[in-house]
Amino acid sequence: MQRDTRQRRAIRRVFMSVGRPLTPDEVLEHGQRIVPSLGLATVYRNVKALADAGWLSLVELPGGGLRYELAERPHHHHFLCRSCDLAFDVHKCPDEVEELAPEGFEVDGHELILFGRCAECR
Amino acid sequence: MQRDTRQRRAIRRVFMSVGRPLTPDEVLEHGQRIVPSLGLATVYRNVKALADAGWLSLVELPGGGLRYELAERPHHHHFLCRSCDLAFDVHKCPDEVEELAPEGFEVDGHELILFGRCAECR
DNA sequence: GAAGAGATGAGAATTGATTATCATTATAGG
DNA sequence: CCTATAATGATAATCAATTCTCATCTCTTC
């Protein structure tokens, strides 16, 4: 059975308040402001459980480590800051992207990533 | 000084003939058809040297491992087959993509990745 | 065709990310 | 409040990718 622990609540709260994709390390950092004793293993366990439960989804951006974000959000893409390495949401999407595939290829999804410097880093 | 070895020639030839982004493992596999004794460390060394020299460029797609492709090619994007995990070039690009960024963000590049099944795998 | 120096190949070592272990803690239910 | 048991946290273990080591090989030049 699933228990509602302090650390699980903190992790959920982090995702809801931050509103952008987070790596496990980022989750740990933010989560420790709520539950200082939070450990990395707990973050990995919960983030995985929340993803299995469909509450989080996996975001794979260039540059190593996986990130997670709230699932069930409207279609969107991402901006990756080359300076601070944080990922942000981009709430617009060019149309008809999936028609760009070569002849004979079957497309079932796409990801658009913008690179640059975020408002903070400029 | 740089020497023109059999293995380096083979690696260059692989990239020129295959025409899509390759992981070091894929380079090894193809390269061994030309120089059977080719080793993985040599692939890593040369791929890195060729990238430093500007002859190859780095392609980071979701799903782990880095890939390399011929540099100095016209702007293009990529298709990643969910079945065989090979990456292919997509020679079209939606316009004005970089204008989709949030207010205050400075965009200096973008990557569009289509997912699905390649012609072979269907 | 000899010699010097860069390159290679096999395997060991390293790295960073993720997972497993296990003693301890804390939650849900009675 | 008590108890059973899921969850936690610190650390060790694992894993895949990449780099290093070093004896050996082979380009290049003379």
> Is the domain of B40 the same as that of B15?
yes
Contact B114 A101 (CB under 8 A): yes
> Is the domain of B81 the same as that of B50?
no
> Is the domain of A47 the same as that of A62?
yes
> Is the domain of A97 the same as that of A47?
no
- CB interface of A with B, residues 60-79, below 8 Å: 60-63, 77, 79
Task: Report the C-alpha gap between B30 and B98 in whole angstroms.
Answer: 36
> Is the domain of B102 the same as that of B50?
no
Pick from A117, A83, A89, A61: nearest CA to B113: A61
Task: Report the C-alpha gap between B68 and B48 in whole angstroms.
Answer: 9
In a domain, A26, yes or no: yes
Q: How many pairs of residues across A and B have Cβ atoms under 8 Å apart?
A: 124
In a domain, A82, yes or no: yes
> Is the domain of A14 the same as that of A65?
yes
Q: What range defines the domain where residue B105 resides? A: 77-116
Of the residues A54, A70, A86, the one at which a domain ends: A70
> Is the domain of B65 the same as that of B81?
no
Of the residues A70, A90, A105, the one at which a domain ends: A70
Task: Report the C-alpha gap between B15 and A101 in whole angstroms.
Answer: 22
Q: With contact defined as beta carbons under 8 Å apart, do A14 and A55 qualify?
A: no
Asked if the C-beta of B88 comes within 8 angstroms of chain A's C-beta atoms, the answer is yes
Q: Which of B82, B94, B109 sits opposite A97 (nearest CB)?
A: B94
In a domain, B87, yes or no: yes
3-state secondary structure of B118: coil
- Return the pLDDT at A95: 83
Domain count, chain A: 2
> Is the domain of B12 the same as that of B65?
yes
In a domain, A122, yes or no: no
Contact B114 A96 (CB under 8 A): no
β-bridge pairing B106-117 and B77-81: parallel
> Is the domain of A95 the same as that of A66?
no
DSSP result, A10-74: HHHHHHHHH-S-B-HHHHHHHHTTTSTT--HHHHHHHHHHHHHTTSEEEE--SSSS-EEEESSPP
In a domain, B95, yes or no: yes
Closest residue of chain A to B60, computed from CA coordinates: A62
Chain D bases near protein Cβ (<7 Å): 6-12, 16-21, 26-28
In a domain, B109, yes or no: yes
- Return the pLDDT at A1: 62
**CATH number of the domain encompassing residue B36:** 1.10.10.10
> Is the domain of A44 the same as that of A87?
no
Give the distance from CA B97 to its chain's centroid: 22
Residue B114: in which H helix or E strand, if any?
strand B106-117
- Return the pLDDT at B95: 84
In a domain, A121, yes or no: no
Q: Per-residue pLDDT tens for A38-85?
A: 999 999 999 999 999 999 999 999 876 799 999 999 999 999 999 999
Band of pLDDT at residue A16, cut at 50, 70 and 90: very high
> Is the domain of B60 the same as that of B18?
yes
> Is the domain of A39 the same as that of A13?
yes
Contact B117 A96 (CB under 8 A): no
In a domain, A1, yes or no: no
Task: Report the C-alpha gap between A97 and B57 in whole angstroms.
Answer: 24
List chain B pLDDT tens, one digit each, 122 residues.
Answer: 689 999 999 999 999 999 999 999 999 999 999 999 999 999 999 999 999 999 999 999 987 679 999 999 999 999 999 999 999 999 999 988 999 999 999 999 999 999 999 999 99
